[in-house]
Structure 1
Amino acid sequence: MRTSALVEPGPPLTREQVQRYSRHLLLGQLGEAGQRRLLAARVLVMGAGGLGSPVLQYLAAAGVGHVTIVDDDVVDPSNLQRQVIHSTADVGRPKVDSAAAHVRALNPDVEVTTHHLRLDAANARELLAGHDLVIDGTDNFPTRYLVNDVCAELGIPLVWGSILRFDAQVSVFWSRGEPAVTLRDLFPTPPPEGTTPSCGQAGVLGAMCGQVGSIMAAEAVKLITGTGDPLLGRVLVLDVLGARWSELPVRPRPGRHDLPRTVEALGYDPSPGADGPAAPDGGTSAGALPAITARDLARRLSERERGTDDFVLLDVRETPERGIVTIPGAVSVPLAEVLADPDGVVHRLDLGHPGGVARELVVHCRSGQRSAQAVRALTDAGARAVNVEGGVLAWVTDVDPTLPSY
């Protein structure tokens, strides 16, 4: 359904702007008035990663006058496969700084504000308020739901995208739109703990980020200028392997206003580096578990080689992850198998000891979140199990920096 333009036109275009945006001016549906609306618009982009990269580049190229970038992460080599706004020289640099430099170089008309911080319930309203539009390209459920709920409260339209492996979804949510739909009408609550992997676990096709981010940027331009029919009440679903786009309807869900609406109520923490939607290492769900550090593990592995320690090191990651990097001496049982039959896994690992004391299970994954789930299940099955805090990421950082990370 067609909507009115979000933004009033700004000042007349200069000669230089007429030349820069001439291909927009040739579009009758957009024209000079539409370009002036873009130059007067204030858009906040959540995340300067896989989706934020193409979104920011096309917003800048389109001449969106003020862009705010929010991201608490720094550029990592594993980002460069899909986060095309960053370069090799940016590794270790805050993503907001790298992205802002690229935007400013692309278009000096664009004013950029950066926030190198984590969005949370304490700062979300202040950060989002005053913007005409929010674009969410984040990769964790706490932030997605927090952004959605604050946008719904403030009446700000939200362009939303989600990607994983070879699949993606894109939509527009707006509590004051027609229809008045939000993320909670599509997915009322976040998925149960451990049921949805992250890109760090499952992978993502880099080029797909460009496809999805471009659609998101186009939706932003349409909303700002009142051009065409936005994705309100519709979800575009992309299957890259099948080269197919499909569309699903979204309608207001009865009772959605009774759902929990804060990070605290959801029991989530949008901390960076978490493997999925559950709390990260040291968070609510894993805080009571016995744990050791990566350095402790390295020491104990040396002692095991000398015969002064005895334990089983269990890697609960998926096989493709082990192809990237492994901790020496680990045996592999993916988390799904552990959770499906923890008693069988305990029996298979033969944890008996000649002295009559069962050997300990030391469990690791990529960051410590999945291994925490495994430790709980194995402990319930009667095993002595301990979690490796930070997992492989901590091993690479603290023990063997020559190994690749992901």
Structure 2
Amino acid sequence: MERLDHLRREIAQREAELADLKAQLALAESKHRAATGQSNEWKWPLESDEYQRYARQMIVPNFGLQVSAEFNSESMLNTGAGQLKLKRSRVLFVGAGGLGCPAAAYLAGAGVGELGFVDGDTVEVSNLHRQIAHSTSRVGMSKVGSAITYLRELNPSVTYHAHQTHLTTQNAKDIVSRYDLVLDCTDHPTSRYLISDICVLLSKPLVSASALQTSGQLIVLNDPPGEGPCYRCVFPKPPPPESVVGCGEGGILGPVVGVMGVLQALEAIKVIISDSAQGPKRPPMMLLFSAMGDTPFRSVKMRGKRKGCFACSDEASLTLESTQSSMDYVQFCGVSAPVSLLHPEERITVEDYEEVSRLKSAHVLLDVREKEHFDLCHLEGSVNIPISRFMSHCGGENGEIPDWVPTDIPQESPIYVVCRVGNDSQIAAQKLKEMGLDRDGQRFIGDIRGGLKAWKDSIDPGIPFT
């Protein structure tokens, strides 16, 4: 197995090096063609190859209407000032996944001068159905490196910067300060508040998007800096920790997150080429996308900056120093440690359960994942009761057992509970005890430590667990 992983990493590294060489060659050839095809009197603000590469967007009405001061003669009225602004801009992507990949592809294709990427994760097979900049051959490679490898082949004239780390309170100032615009392509509240705060403090406009299952939302924040609302204006309080569901648990359709990433790229271009001389900006809006809805897109007008906002109001107490020394975004968002409800003796290992199953000992196995997960794969003989059933049960009168609990469970048979990674199974086991099914401790009720992930890692690598 280690040999296979080593070979995969070697191949990914060689492909990245080859892509870099191809990009250098393409750029050198492009400059050579431009040099040989241009006279010494070339007076246009863009290179010859850039006019060819970006021609279709430069002829869009209003894209190149205004011309910067150094190119203001009558003969240059339509040289594409919008393109010049893109070429001179620097954009940072926080996250190189489902949102970052399509957004980066379109901004690289559009000719943004510099693109930076912050992400500490590596490419996994489960990413590939939606994270279009990555490939099967680059599984195990850093997402930042994989994305840049893809983008260099798309447009070698763009400068790419790799920050192969997660954005933290300690490195955020140093990284974000190098760019003009930030795209939040993350999937957790802790990151969203940090990114918004640092953008407010450094006066950077922010394009934020999210996607889950078949829905998404998009919002442009702190635009223009100091005037537009920040993330805290829109969401003063973080969502309850138990309501935060990632793609691994809730699922995501690839085109849904792709749509939101493309819209992020569009909003980024609008921010970059906007001109205050053209009039006041439109009021802040939140775009809501429902892939399965009768009306897929809806816009919600927002109130703007919130009075008394902790981050961006006139009375704001947030500072760069406080973000590094005293701000705890994990604590603010209420993110808790892994569930620990059961005593060690109430939990069994996957090896222990394999022995129970092999000996065909009488028992009941409850799988508390949602039906969609259960239908993909489950252990033989398991019964599906989704955790949502347990969470909605508030307890009946006189210890009444809800009708969704199987009635044919022999009173003497132990009950084992399994879930994805061993958190929900503890909650469910605790609920079963509260219902009195453990008969005051006479019957064993416990969970399988580590869940189906541990089963796949230690017992059956072939199970199609996701």
TM-score range, shorter chain: 0.7 to 0.9
Partner amino acid for 2:54?
Y
Q: Percent identity?
A: 32
Structure 2 match to 1:185: 233
Partner of 1:4: none
SS of 2:420's partner is coil
Q: Distance in 2 between matches of 1:339 and 1:326?
A: 21
Of residues 350, 367, 379, the one that matches 2:421 is 367
The DSSP-based 3-state class of the residue aligned with 1:134 is strand
1:263 and 2:315 aligned:
no
**Corresponding position: 1:348 with 2:405:** yes
The separation in 2 between residues aligned to 1:402 and 1:248, in whole angstroms, is: 46
Task: Please state whether the residue corresponding to 2:242 is helix, strand or coil.
Answer: coil
Partners of 2:165 and 2:117 in 1: how far apart? 10
Show CA shifts across 1:200-242 (max 9, x none): 2222222122222111101111111216887761001112222
Matched AA of 1:76: E
Aligned partner of 2:202 among 154, 157, 174: 154
Shift of 1:315: 1.9
1:399 matched to 2:459? The reply is yes
What is the alpha-carbon distance in structure 1 between the residues aligned to residue 154 and residue 88 of structure 2? 18
| Aligned counterparts of 1:120 and 1:212: Cα–Cα separation in 2 | 24
2:141 aligned residue? 93
The CA deviation at 1:61 is 0.2
C-alpha distance in 2, partners of 1:289/1:126? 43
CA contact (8 A) 2:214 2:252 kept: yes
Decide which of 94, 98, 102 is 1:54's aligned counterpart.
102
From 50, 54, 78, the counterpart of 1:21: 54
* 1:234 alignment counterpart: 285
Post-superposition offset of 1:342: 6.8
TM-score of the aligned structures, taking structure 1 as reference length: 0.81
In the TM superposition, what is the alpha-carbon distance from 1:60 to its structure 2 partner?
0.7
Give the whole-Å Cα distance in 2 for the aligned partners of 1:206 and 1:184.
Answer: 28
User: TM-score w.r.t. structure 2 length?
Assistant: 0.72
Deviation at 1:119, TM superposition (A): 2.5
State the match for 1:246 in structure 2: 298
Question: Does 2:256 match 1:208?
Answer: yes
User: Is it true that 1:144 corresponds to 2:185 in the alignment?
Assistant: no
Residues 133, 374 of structure 1: alpha-carbon distance in 2 compared, 3 angstrom cutoff = farther
Alignment CA distance shift 1:69-1:353 (3 Å):
same
- Deviation of 1:388 after TM superposition, in Å, equals 4.3
State the shift of 1:362 in Å: 4.0
**3-state SS of the aligned residue for 1:348?**
coil
Aligned match of 2:386:
334
Question: Is the Cα contact below 8 Å between 1:177 and 1:232 reproduced in 2?
Answer: no
Instruction: Tell me the SS of whatever aligns to 2:243.
Output: coil
| Closer, same or farther: CA 109–267 of 1 in aligned 2, 3 Å | same
- The Cα offsets for residues 337-373 of structure 1, whole Å up to 9 and x where unpaired, read as 112227536993678754xxx84x5433223343354
2:349 aligns with one of 296, 300, 308: 296
Between Structure 1 and Structure 2, how many residues are aligned? 378
1:146/1:262 contact within 8 Å kept: no
Q: Which residue of 1 aligns with 2:14?
A: none
Match of 1:198 in 2: 246
Look up the SS of the partner of 2:83 in the other structure.
Answer: helix
The one-letter code of the counterpart of 1:365 is: C
The SS at the match of 2:128 is helix
Tell me if the contact between 2:238 and 2:333 (Cα under 8 Å) persists in the aligned partners.
Answer: no
Bigger relative contact order (CA 8 A; separation at least 6): 1
5+ residue gaps, structure 1:
1-10, 269-277
In structure 2, relative to structure 1, the CA distance for the partners of 1:304 and 1:243 (3 Å cut) is: same
* Alignment check: 8 A CA contact 2:418 2:447 kept: yes
Structure 1 match to 2:17? none
Residue 322 to residue 307, structure 1, CA distance change in 2 (3 Å): closer
Partner in structure 2 of residue 274 of structure 1: none
Q: CA deviation at 1:138?
A: 1.3
Q: Which residue pairs with 2:169 in the alignment?
A: 121
Post-superposition offset of 1:191: 1.4
Distance 2:343 2:370 in 1: 23
1:363 counterpart letter in structure 2? V
Relative distance call for 1:335 and 1:259 in structure 2 (3 A) is farther
Distance in 1 (CA, whole Å) between partners of 2:445 and 2:201 is 44
| Greater Cα radius of gyration, structure 1 or 2 | 2
Q: Distance in 2 between matches of 1:139 and 1:98?
A: 19
- Shift in Å, 1:100: 0.9
Q: Which amino acid aligns with 1:240?
A: A
* 3-state secondary structure, aligned to 1:35: helix
Deviation of 1:24 (Å): 2.8
What is the rounded CA distance, in whole Å, between the counterparts of 2:112 and 2:352 in structure 1?
54
Unaligned 5+ runs, structure 2: 1-43, 65-79, 311-315, 319-326, 396-400, 439-443
Residue identity matched to 1:263: Y
Are the structure 2 counterparts of residues 28 and 346 from structure 1 closer, same or farther at C-alpha, using a change threshold of 3 Å? closer
Q: Deviations over 1:159-203 (max 9, x none)?
A: 011112221111101175475211222222221122243222222
